[in-house]
Chain A
Amino acid sequence: MINVFEDLVSNRHKNAAEWKNKGRKVFGYFCTYVPEEIIYAAGIIPVRIMGGSEDITHADVHLPSYICSFSRSCYDLALKRCYDYLDGVVFPYTCDTIVSLYNIWKADIPTPYVGFVDPLCAKTETARKYFREEVARFKGSLENYLGKEISEDSLRESIRTYNENRRLLKKVYELRKGPQPLLSGVEVLDIVRSSMLTPKDEHNSLLGSLLDRISEREDPPEPGVRILVSGSVIYDPEVLRMIEDSGALIVADDLCTGTRYFWDLVNTNSSPLVGIADRYYERIPCPCNYPPEKRLEHIMTLVKDYDVEAVIFTLQKFCDPHLFDMPFMEEKLKEAEIPSLRLETEHVTAPLGPLKTRIEAFLETIR
């Protein structure tokens, strides 16, 4: 019941090809600021673009070395034709690297539809209004591409399905509270990532089955030092595996491939487009668009609710938004007497040895 999620992640390109064969359209998206519900309402399957574990060999022709390996890997895969099946790709202005990648992808990769959404940094009523219009424009641009309207009903239905997925994922996370969590961090990573790579209605039934049967699980993870992991996109589980192989158990997270993705629901009291826009506008903070105070609050709430003993930051080398927040985060955690460790990772977590040493040494200081 758990392996199915890992399979969805490893077979994502194969699965996408199958949906295409059945006549479905598939759009790729970068980052959790893209209003997926609208894509889904249009009958298109949204899939998150993620890096892979293959060596990066082609990206250097178009990109310098001092950017995160996540973006280099994604682009490398695109150049190697792994993403040829995409009918469209949507980029938000997440960070300076992604916005540049938007331009480069548009120039070099022949994806038929290349969309753009600007999540904005200012948090004022003027900004909120603009963002609502931006979301409406995004819907219009999809309608143009499809040659048909996206109805209000299909938006409502999409919102329902997405909200259901979010509720179910929250329930899955609840299984990690208490002295014997029923899922490990690596397993949960696969569960959340698979949600980004599967049509939501299918994912909802898989989650339903999981929640029904999980209590029967005979091989729950070994409890250990209770860790919260904070970072951006984890596209290779190696670091998390290393943490959990060293006597720790990840029980909560502040990750783009974690709670940031699903923690907030769309408010169904407003009209669908406004509800969607507001949800993405007010969602859990990510360093790219917010100052760190709200993010710290989110982490502290999770620390309390999940009995977290220590925080491990798994940052991508060269990730400016996350790195700017670090001194503040480390200082505040220190004040709250919560031990924290900062790890900077590169592609496929080379080098492994020194990373493992840091993790082990850190855990030794906790208990």
Chain B
Amino acid sequence: MASKHYMEAHEAKKQGRPVTWITGYDPVEILYAMDIAVVYPENYSALCAVTQTAPKFIEAAERMGYSSDLCSYARNTIGTTFEEGAPLGGLAPPDFLVVARKFCKTHVKWWQVLSRRFNCPLFIIDAPYVPEDEKEYHVEHYVSQLEDLIAFLEERTGRKMDYDKLREVVKLSDRASMLWDEIMALRKNSPCPIGAADVLSCMFAIVTLPGTQTAVDFYERLLSEVKERVKNKIGVIPEENYRLLWDNIVLWYNVGLSNYFHKYGAVFVLEPYTMVWSGRLDPSNPLESLARKYMAPFINLKNRADVLVELCKQYRVDGAVMHSNRSCKFLSLLQYELKDILMEKLGIPSLIIEADHCDGRAYSDAQIKMRIDAFMEMLG
């Protein structure tokens, strides 16, 4: 599914259809409604990490002067725009760029670099930061920006937005989210029917294809499979002793790490990062519901902590493994606070391991495994 998606973008380029690059948590439904081909460099960098091709591109970016302390997704992508041999023929060059400042400013700086690289215009959306509770004016501002985005896209593509099509896309996206939520909810069962590694390989559609029929079809099939497993009490491992949560992005160059926990009878039943991608929408109110969806997750410490505590209760979590990700300050910096909160409110211990999600050089297998062993002994 993923390769097809990237190849389609190349096709679009050849056919003269517009191509854009966006980050995770940008309002992609708007772009799909206007028949714009979309690719996600972050997702693509994950692919590079999984196929162990990322180091070459990361090093290329570093040779160009991009510090090794910058986000490894960014270094990888920038590298692929200059070096030969990127998987799947690289990413089809963009005609314009769209980015939302939602998860981090790094996204914006990175997209600025890309707009210079491809000499094309950049549209920035600010998901206004919500310091306490979300207010109407936050949502209104996002909606105004969506209107600006539509105007920008209409100008760039020479086409007008078809609002009926948008409502259709929003409806499909809502359905995909509903299915994803149902699948994730089934992980509350014991034994947990689908673990971390499988969730990772099934994430692609909800992240990059919400609003498409492909995503809906895929999750309908997945849902029935997972329901079967629950019915037959088939779990990730035969004997489940510990139910764990994983916080932050995974180690894409070592997706099998979750399997290391199986020898302790431990499975991952909950990952806040994979769960944020769904967001229910109202087709009769497309712009406002898109705004709410794309402003929703991880808004501040209190919100993130409250959501996490609630999820830990529902999923009956015994311990937390938090990836302190050198490339992702936004998600990592609050982990020490979250660790304390989980212990205070629920008595759940957490292990914080320092690594990187895309740059394997920051990962030390022996050190990490030792910490995991010690943590599991502690839970014992």
- Report which A residues bind B (CB closer than 8 A): 61-67, 93, 95-97, 99-104, 106-108, 116, 118, 120-124, 126-127, 130, 133, 287-289, 291-292, 317-318, 320-321, 323-328, 330, 344
Contact = CB atoms under 8 A, between A and B. Distances in A.
B67 A326 contact: yes
A66 B330 contact: no
Contacts of B109: 287, 320-321, 324-325
Contact of A107 (B70, B326, B337): B337
B112 A324 contact: yes
Contacts of B64: 327
A291 B333 contact: no
Interface string B310-334: 0000000000000010100110111
A289 B129 CA distance: 14
Nearest to B143: A126
Q: Chain B contact residues (Cβ within 8 angstroms of A): what range?
A: 35 or more
Nearest to A125: B148
Given A320-B105, A324-B113, A66 B69 contact: yes
Interface string B25-55: 0000000000000000000000000000000
Given A66-B69, A321-B105, A100 B110 contact: no
Contacts of A121: 101, 105, 108, 124, 126
A288 B105 contact: yes
A318 B69 contact: yes
Contacts of B335: 64
B69 A103 contact: no
A116 B47 CA distance: 37
B139 to A, nearest CB: 12
A275 to B, nearest CB: 21
Contacts of B66: 323-324, 326-327
6 contacts: A66-B69, A130-B126, A130-B141, A323-B70, A326-B65, A326-B67
A133 B140 CA distance: 12
A320 B301 contact: no
Contacts of A64: 324, 332-333, 335-336, 354
A62 B352 CA distance: 12
A106 B122 CA distance: 34
Contacts, number: 124
Contact of B301 (A65, A104, A122, A323): A104
A298 B124 CA distance: 23
A346 to B, nearest CB: 11
A127 B66 CA distance: 30
A112 to B, nearest CB: 16
Contact of B148 (A107, A126, A288): A126
Given A100-B334, A118-B128, A323 B67 contact: yes
A302 B300 CA distance: 39
Contacts of B333: 63-64, 67, 96-97, 100-101, 104
Contacts of B324: 64
B108 A96 contact: no
Given A63-B336, A118-B129, 18 more contacts: A62-B336, A64-B333, A64-B336, A96-B105, A96-B106, A99-B330, A101-B333, A102-B131, A104-B333, A107-B337, A122-B125, A122-B126, A130-B126, A287-B109, A317-B69, A321-B109, A324-B74, A325-B109
Contacts of A328: 113, 116
B69 A96 contact: no
B259 interface: no
Contacts of B300: 103
Nearest to A123: B124
Say what secondary structure dominates the interface of chain A: helix
Given A320-B105, A327-B65, A99 B129 contact: yes
A130 B124 contact: no
Interface in B138-179: 141, 144-145, 148
Nearest to A293: B116
Contacts of A122: 101, 124-126, 145
A133 to B, nearest CB: 7
A100 B328 CA distance: 12
A292 B122 CA distance: 14
Given A121-B101, A121-B124, A126-B148, A320 B70 contact: yes
Contacts of B129: 93, 99, 116, 118
Given A103-B301, A130-B141, A320 B329 contact: yes
Interface in B236-271: none
B334 A103 contact: yes
A107 B329 contact: no
A265 B354 CA distance: 45
A127 B126 contact: yes
B295 interface: no
A133 B137 CA distance: 9
A323 B324 CA distance: 21
B342 interface: no
A324 B126 contact: no
A323 B69 CA distance: 9
Nearest to A319: B69
Interface in B321-380: 324, 326, 329-330, 332-337, 354
A324 B141 CA distance: 28
B104 interface: yes
A121 B101 CA distance: 8
Contacts of A133: 137
A101 B125 CA distance: 23
A344 B67 CA distance: 10
Nearest to A291: B112
Contact of A126 (B65, B104, B106, B141): B141
B336 A61 contact: yes
Going nearest first, the 5 A-B pairs with the smallest beta carbon separation are: A100-B333, A327-B65, A103-B301, A324-B109, A116-B131
B104 A96 contact: yes
A127 B126 CA distance: 8
B71 interface: yes
Contacts of A323: 66-67, 69-70
Contact of A103 (B71, B101, B110, B337): B337
Nearest to A324: B109
